[in-house]
Amino acid sequence: MRARSVVIIVLAILSLTLVAQNTQVLSFKLWFWSLQSVPITSLLAGSLVVGLLIGVLLGRPWKKKKAAPRQVPPSPTPKKKPTTPKEPI
């Protein structure tokens, strides 16, 4: 397994444990909208899903980067020897 896969699995287990252990009920208010007697589990699960969607949309795994065309470096030009002025005969 790659390290990235292990990290994802560990974070998923920690997230699910966090959601499963918090079963209290609370009131939730967001701007003009409020909910009474909402389990924390649903709020945590909902925020995890929203975070996952944001990560997927920002990462766009379905859109692969195009490989840049390979540029051929210019061939080195032969260096000319410095010329010295010739003396008249």
Q: Report pLDDT digits (tens) over 13-48.
A: 888 888 788 778 888 777 887 878 878 888 778 888
Residue of 86, 1, 83, 15 lying closest to 49 (CA atoms): 15
Pairwise CA distance, residues 38 & 27, whole Å: 6
Domain boundaries, the chain: 23-62
Q: The pTM is what?
A: 0.48
Distances (CA, A) of 37 to 21, 30, 43, 69: 17, 14, 11, 58
* Confidence tier at 89 by pLDDT (50, 70, 90): low
